[in-house]
Structure 1
Amino acid sequence: MSLNTYQPPHLGSGNDKPSRKKPMFPVIERLRAFLKHHGREVRLPVAYRDLQRFTYSLPVKDKEGKDTMWETVVYDMREWDYIREGLIRIYAILKTEGDMSFSKHLDVARIDFCAFGNSQPFRIRIVNKFNDNYDHYYIKIADASRIYGLELEHLLSPNRITFFTSRNTLVEEHIPGIPGDIFIQSYLDNSDTNKIRFAKEFVKFNERCFVRLLGDMRSYNFVVDITPDIEDFQYRIRAIDFDQQSYEGRKNLYLPQFFKENNPFVQTTLKYLNSDSIAQYQTEERTMMAFRLVSARYRIKELLDTMGRDQISTPEKIHQLAGELAEFHGNVALGKTHTMGKLVKQHLKVCLRKNLLMIPRFQGRFED
């Protein structure tokens, strides 16, 4: 999919909208076995249901005094001691593989809850009592779609992600960066923003999402990481919401370029990059995805085989997406796919076949 194949008025038109509420999909035993095998399933001292027993909540406001979608929750003291100790232990599991020797420096500064969205997360703020430095992590409902999305991000993107499951609880590390919508408001038009480099990154992000079928990447569902470089800055766009991994039926919902919230990014890309540059950056990203796939081919195959036997969307959406992708690629086989997991596997084959053939030790196909 190329950004330059469309004229600006049709980009990000907002005609395609994700489902208002995606159902939660349970973790099947085959997926649980995969998570255990690869060290993702661990025994945690606090579960999601424990955090739901708060007494009351207070709205969280931003620096300008405006309400956010988060609320700080407060617990009965009998609950708090147990929860506080457990949350510090979970942080140790995330950061130091369970080494509790540093726990005396740590405390739970705040717990926030967000009822908006599918995962209804709790955001845990951990603070170092010696210097007031703080960090965050999240506890959510374990949704199979999100777990597949997190694992595919870990394996196929340039970003590594630490997360754990414990039965129906999902724990995720915080992904740092500037939310995309805030970047548009406060950074995109700054004089020191290198728009050419940012446009290059948006093309690559657009490509990654489409190839692995990660949907609903509106500006507030990803962050921008800015890294100082020689005489300038580099940019990395990172997804932070994986609930819409391979769920929707519309092809365009897997392309960030089509969301109206991302129009400023699209316009910047079209202004600063020509068609040859866009094609070059798309090829670069597919080549890197191919190398990542080869490096983790057996783990990816195990994941996709599990995903192919799981039900993470509706038959109507699967049929629709398979048909649209088959028409777009001119590949009849895609239209005959009956599960989202198998469709992701076939789509990776179709999109990366040319790049995989350039890698000598890979035969350009997945094992069946």
Structure 2
Amino acid sequence: MKEQLMVFKKPSYPLNNSFLDYLERFDRISKVSVFYDDLLRFSGSINVYDKNDVDTLWIRVYYSEFERNEIDLNLKKIYSYLHSDGNLDIIKFLSVDAIDYCTFGNSKPFRVKVRNILNDNYTYFYVKKADASRVYGLELEHILSPDKIHFLVYKDTLIEEHIMGIPGDVFMEEHLVNRSETEKSQIAKEFVKFNERCMIRLLGDMRAYNYVIVPIHDFDQVVFRIRPIDFDQQCYEGNLKVYRPQFFKENYPMVKLVKEKLEYSSIEQYKNEERAALAKRLFSTETRIKKLLHIMGNDFIAPDENTEQLKLELYRLTHDINFNRAKSMGNVLSSAFDFITRNYKNTDFLR
């Protein structure tokens, strides 16, 4: 019988005072009072369909005129702080074209579409309940990935920028087959690196719809990068396989591509490259990452049995005694990062 990687729905964990102080120190606290619960007071809705008339499971919500005016104003202010310097002069050029509500998943987010009325350019951002796991994941993504990510927290509400790209499941179904052989090799390489990156930083549940593929045009070729878009499962599950995208059946086309396109030696090379890159980012952001890991180490973001299982599995993999000494998920992550920085020049570790 196939192993079921994730059995129970993850609970939401509150942000503690130390974490809120950290977020304020790094300008992550919203200056606009916006609450997730305010957006729940919609008076009507309709289903949202994609270009093929398939139900997206999002609904477009509507508010009474009085509430809509106040909500629109606050959402425009949020856009200003999220994407610029908070200059409210731009508000008169903004229009909140749509507010959509997602009826599935852990976070049940609102998706806000904001358009510049001068040129019709638009962008999205999301309003969610602030869960500590998700916010830790966002901050780690900002610090340790090549991509910066913008988000704001206001009490128990999280405002998160939209990450552009083609959803992994859509890419595999509609785009992968049309890629050239060279592009397929490059995508396979990127998946190996993505798989390694998720495992080292303990970002779980990277099923195909929880990451996007980003095509980038570079001279005479197109290269592809993979970015996570869901951070709910940062340092929560006890099963190490949950942190390795290769073990989710939804990612089988990518795993198959790696087997077809890459030799074992190339896979090891790309894994080593990713570990080295992560180690260098850890060194260059040492002060900030230490502050964050200290707070995580004293926070409760996973059941004790999950922590015990994960640290045992990591000890069996690495034989590093520091994992056995971990008392929390934050300690486990700190031990993983310490292991990487101590060994990043050794191409034989963490096979």
Name the CA shift for 1:356/1:161 in 2 (closer, same or farther; >3 Å). farther
| CA–CA separation in structure 2 for the residues paired with 1:356 and 1:192 | 34
1:73-84 pair list within 5 angstroms: 73-84=61-72
Partner of 2:320 in structure 1?
Answer: 331
Which of the residues 157, 160, 166 maps onto 2:154?
166
Partner of 2:126 in structure 1?
Answer: 138
Which of the residues 14, 21, 24 maps onto 1:26?
14
| CA–CA separation in structure 2 for the residues paired with 1:238 and 1:19 | 25
| CA–CA separation in structure 2 for the residues paired with 1:308 and 1:125 | 37
Deviations 1:172-223 (A, max 9, x none): 1110000000000111111447011111110110111000000000000000
Which of the residues 10, 14, 35 maps onto 1:47?
35
Is residue 189 of structure 2 the alignment partner of residue 200 of structure 1? yes
Unmatched 5+ residue regions in structure 1?
Answer: 1-12, 359-368
Which of the residues 310, 313, 330 maps onto 2:302?
313
Residue type of the alignment partner of 1:180: G
Is residue 41 of structure 2 the alignment partner of residue 56 of structure 1? no
Q: Quote the offset at 1:14 in angstroms.
A: 6.1
Under a length normalisation based on structure 2, what TM-score does the superposition of the two structures give?
Answer: 0.95
Secondary structure of the residue that 1:233 maps to in structure 2? Answer: strand
Partner of 2:252 in structure 1?
Answer: 263
Alpha carbons 2:141, 2:149 under 8 Å: kept: yes
1:1-368 pair list within 5 angstroms: 15-192=3-180, 194-355=183-344
Residue type of the alignment partner of 2:195: N
Alpha carbons 1:16, 1:258 under 8 Å: kept: no
| CA–CA separation in structure 2 for the residues paired with 1:285 and 1:357 | 13
| CA–CA separation in structure 2 for the residues paired with 1:326 and 1:191 | 40
| CA–CA separation in structure 2 for the residues paired with 1:231 and 1:38 | 39
| CA–CA separation in structure 1 for the residues paired with 2:337 and 2:318 | 12
Q: Quote the offset at 1:115 in angstroms.
A: 2.6
Q: Which has the higher contact order (CA 8 A, sep 6+)?
A: 1
| CA–CA separation in structure 2 for the residues paired with 1:351 and 1:248 | 21
Alpha carbons 1:123, 1:139 under 8 Å: kept: yes
Deviations 1:50-82 (A, max 9, x none): 111111221111111111121111111110000
Name the CA shift for 1:147/1:315 in 2 (closer, same or farther; >3 Å). same
Q: Quote the offset at 1:165 in angstroms.
A: 0.5
| CA–CA separation in structure 1 for the residues paired with 2:216 and 2:339 | 33
Name the CA shift for 1:349/1:16 in 2 (closer, same or farther; >3 Å). farther
Q: Quote the offset at 1:230 in angstroms.
A: 2.3
> Which sits farther off after the overlay, 323-332 or 267-276?
323-332
Unmatched 5+ residue regions in structure 2?
Answer: none
Q: Quote the offset at 1:131 in angstroms.
A: 3.0
- Residue-pair matches, total: 346
Name the CA shift for 1:288/1:191 in 2 (closer, same or farther; >3 Å). closer
Deviations 1:282-324 (A, max 9, x none): 1111111111111110100000000000000001111111111
> Which sits farther off after the overlay, 92-101 or 134-143?
92-101
Alpha carbons 2:237, 2:306 under 8 Å: kept: yes
| CA–CA separation in structure 2 for the residues paired with 1:223 and 1:52 | 28
Q: Quote the offset at 1:96 in angstroms.
A: 1.2
Q: Quote the offset at 1:130 in angstroms.
A: 2.8
| CA–CA separation in structure 2 for the residues paired with 1:304 and 1:77 | 45
Residue type of the alignment partner of 1:68: T
Alpha carbons 1:175, 1:240 under 8 Å: kept: yes
Q: Quote the offset at 1:88 in angstroms.
A: 0.7
Q: Quote the offset at 1:166 in angstroms.
A: 0.9
What's the Cα RMSD here?
1.6
Alpha carbons 2:33, 2:154 under 8 Å: kept: no
Alpha carbons 2:282, 2:341 under 8 Å: kept: no
